[in-house]
Amino acid sequence: MKHELLIDQLEQRHSLSSEGYEQLISRRTPEVAAELARRARVECERVYGDAVYTRGLIEFTNYCKNNCLYCGIRRGNASCRRYRLTHEQIMACVEEGYDLGFRTFVLQGGEDSETTDEWLCDIISAIKGAHPDCAVTLSVGERSTESYRMLRKAGADRYLLRHETANREHYRKLHPRSMSYENRMRCLRDLRAAGFTVGVGFMVGSPFQTSADLAADLKFIEDFSPEMCGIGPYVPHHATPFAQFPGGTVELTCFLLSLIRLIKPTILLPATTALGTIDAAGREKGILAGANVVMPNLSPADVRVDYELYDNKVHAGDVAAECKEDLEARMESIGRRLVVDRGDPK
């Protein structure tokens, strides 16, 4: 089928066959990408207007028990300087962010055994107690069914857990044997059942990834219909087994952002830090391809460099305020408005 027809079909039915996606991806041209981005932008503006939502990201621990082959904070990376923020330090980040206008806080961390349910529930209650008008998003990896229920009960609203790849075999190539695609999917189902607003996601251009794998990711997004989806280019980290693999591109990432926007027009879709890392204008390009969320970093400046999932991660500004101002200016330069409310899905 011609590309134009495939895009028409996607726009109308919010669905394509796996072969349709694969064809669009593997035979894309700059012209097709531009047309796709244009339609994705129209859809995004229809739902969200000129608003770009912002979330305050707090990377509170880089201890991790997992050993994902691509990730810079993997257990096996002995050169990673580990840190863990205290309850008080996290609350200080929240207060600073709140004063700047942030109304969503994302608590992200490695799978740290010290991040117990009790400790997490305590910090969630503290944030929600101090600021009932804020949304709390968690991004702390795979946990038990019961744990997810408790975190939700404590008041957490949203949960990000990238599925990483929707192909079981590919999943095995990216992760050690102690991890499984099945458990990842179990977690996502449990999160949904617990009542979270759920986010999935994957890296673009990860080692061994094929167009068929990306088509499977898009089919998965169709089927699971997550409220949020985080995608960014794979960026090699020097101290991982995948250090020598090439990174993903801005171009393919933007193409996928546009496809995802057309699959689910209401989806919350961040222009990620990874995109801003491999291209100084990456986040602007992501927004222009259909993304509608940015996540400036509110972590204390001295630990920010240690949350190094990949090499050369951008650290705009030393203080949260500068980070926000930087993004504000970037969004204004492309005719968008940075909005600091809760930014719930429509």
Sheet holding 51-54, edge to edge: 293-294, 51-54, 337-339
Q: Is 274 an interacting residue with respect to ligand 5AD (CB under 6 A)?
A: yes
Q: Is 220 among the residues that bind ligand 5AD (CB under 6 A)?
A: no
Q: Are 226 and 255 in contact (CB under 8 A)?
A: no
Cβ–Cβ < 8 Å for 280, 327? no
- Tell the smallest beta-carbon distance from residue 234 to ligand 5AD (Å): 5
d(CA 93, CA 125): 15
Q: Under a CB-based contact definition with an 8 Å cutoff, are residues 139 and 158 in contact?
A: no
Instruction: State whether residue 171 is helix, strand or coil.
Output: helix
Among 232, 265, 282, 290, binds ligand 5AD (CB under 6 A): 232
Q: Is 265 in the site for ligand 5AD (CB under 6 A)?
A: no
DSSP per-residue codes, 44-66: HHHHHTTEEEE-EEEEEE---S-
Question: Which stretch, 20-28, 210-218, 232-240, 315-323, contacts ligand 5AD (CB under 6 A)?
Answer: 232-240
Q: Specify whether the CB–CB gap between 64 and 75 falls below 8 A.
A: yes
Per CB under 6 A, does 175 bind ligand 5AD? no
Token code pair at residue 261: 């926007």
In terms of CB distance, is 153 or 238 closer to ligand 5AD? 238
Q: How far is CA 197 from CA 115, 165, 177, 255, in A?
A: 21, 20, 29, 25
What is the rounded CA–CA span in Å between residue 147 and residue 136?
16
Q: One symbol per residue from 133 to 172: x for binding ligand 5AD (CB under 6 A), - otherwise; what is it?
A: -----------------------------x-x--------
| By the rule CB under 6 A, 309 interacts with ligand 5AD | yes
**H/E element, 105:** strand 104-109
Choosing from 235, 259, 287, 294, the residue that interacts with ligand 5AD (CB under 6 A) is 235
Q: What are phi and psi of 257, to 5 degrees?
A: -60, -45
Where are the extended beta strands (E) located within 260-342? 293-294, 337-339
Question: Closest distance between ligand 5AD and the C-beta of residue 186, in Å?
Answer: 17
Q: How far is the CB of 233 from ligand 5AD (least distance, A)?
A: 7
| Type of residue numbered 96 | E
Total number of residues that touch ligand 5AD (CB under 6 A): 12
Q: Which stretch binds ligand 5AD (CB under 6 A): 54-62, 233-241, 287-295, 312-320?
A: 233-241
Q: CB nearer to ligand 5AD: give 53 or 234.
A: 234
Phi-psi group of 155: left, alpha or beta (phi > 0 → left; psi -120 to 50 → alpha; rest → beta): left
CA distance 142 to 109: 11
CB of 97 to ligand 5AD, least distance (A): 20
Give least dist CB 56 to ligand 5AD, A: 16
Considering only 156, 310, 323, 327, the residue that binds ligand 5AD (CB under 6 A) is 310
296 lines the binding site for ligand 5AD (CB under 6 A): no
Nearer to ligand 5AD, 51 or 221 (CB): 221
Residue 237 in contact with ligand 5AD, rule: CB under 6 A: yes
Q: How far is CA 51 from the centre of its chain?
A: 18
Stretch that binds ligand 5AD, among 24-32, 92-100, 228-236, 250-258 (CB under 6 A): 228-236
Question: Does the footprint of ligand 5AD cover residue 70 (CB under 6 A)?
Answer: yes
| Minimum CB distance to ligand 5AD, residue 61 (Å) | 12
Answer yes or no whether residue 71 interacts with ligand 5AD by CB under 6 A: yes
DSSP state of 75: T
Binding interface with ligand 5AD (CB under 6 A): 70-71, 162, 164, 203, 232, 234-235, 237, 274, 309-310
